[in-house]
Amino acid sequence: MRLKDKVCIITGGAKGIGEATTMKFIEEGAKVVIADIDIAAADILVAKIKSSGGDALAIKVNVTNKESVAEMVTKTMDKYGRIDVLINNAGIILDATLVKMTDEQFDRVIDINLKGVYNCAKAVVEIMIAQGSGVLINASSIVGLYGNYGQTNYAATKWGVIGMVKSWAKELGRKGIRAVAVCPGFIDTPILAPMPQKVIDGMVAKVPLGRLGKPEEIAATYAFLASDEAGYITGVAIEVGGGVTL
């Protein structure tokens, strides 16, 4: 088990890619803090994990609120005494073209997808420095690298995450802390449910591998990056998109 006894916080860990990541980390022997705004979903997942012998804790968190994030860290430390990995997975989309986008849409996505990543990293970094080790894994997107129609706000946040990762890698490397970004492509999650099939078919047509990605494939990437096997990887943005950007 590559993550045996590592304490890992996963924001947005109760659903979609976050849920797949939680289950992958449990499989790899981690102790997982499922930090999610939907505490009911987090509680259900914890019950499932405990019934199979895993170790997990559900914590309600609003990543835009520093007090909520601080409480998440305090509860994690009270139970486990350390934090080895933070996965900044929580995020939303509120799409619109530049002409139609409202300030509220822009600000909300920035607050969760960018400021939320900052808030969570800020809250754990001194603990990791004191430990002399830690991994900050952050959800970006291929949209952050290449942009996308109707996603000014989302693209800005995902590009910003990459910039933060590169800065953190430079600042924290000598303190034993790695920082990386993962850039998923088109992944088959519930977020696609409202989309017409023809739109999904159009997305798939752009992918050289000829299919949507699976949440478990992003989870596996996170697990590798969190492990000691990735000990010399930092400051990079890794695309997991089936070649869609070629």
Q: Which amino acid is at 39?
A: I
Residues 6+ apart with CB under 8 A from 17: 89, 139, 184, 187, 189, 215, 218, 219
Give the range among 72-81, 101-110, 189-198, 225-234 with minimum mean pLDDT. Answer: 189-198
Q: Which two tokens stand for residue 192?
A: 């696609």
**Placement of tokens 């129609």 in the chain:** 149
- The pLDDT-based confidence of 205 (bands split at 50, 70, 90) is very high
- What's the CA gap between 127 and 130, in Å, rounded? 5
Share of the chain above pLDDT 70, in %: 100
Q: Return the CATH fold of 7-240.
A: Rossmann fold (3.40.50)
Which pLDDT tens digit goes with each residue over 51-69? 999 999 999 999 999 999 9
Overall average pLDDT of the 198-214 stretch: 92
Is residue 233 within 8 Å of 178, Cβ to Cβ?
yes
Q: Which residue has the higher pLDDT, 128 or 203?
A: 128
| pLDDT value at residue 216 | 98
**What was the pLDDT predicted at 17?**
97
Is 239 strand, coil or helix? Answer: strand
In which element (H, E) is residue 226 found? Answer: helix 215-226
User: H or E stretch including 138?
Assistant: strand 134-139
How high is the pLDDT of residue 199? 83
Q: DSSP state, 213? A: B
Mean pLDDT, range 3-20, rounded to an integer? 97
Q: Show which residues are catalytic.
A: 154
Give the CA distances from residue 239 to residues 26, 85, 217, in Å, rounded to whole numbers and listed in that order: 24, 20, 12
Q: Strands of 134-139's sheet, edge to edge?
A: 55-60, 31-36, 7-11, 85-88, 134-139, 177-184, 237-240
Residue 203: pLDDT over 90: no
Can you give the pLDDT at residue 194?
73
| Distance (Å, whole) CA 194 – CA 229 | 38
Average pLDDT, stretch 84-104? 97
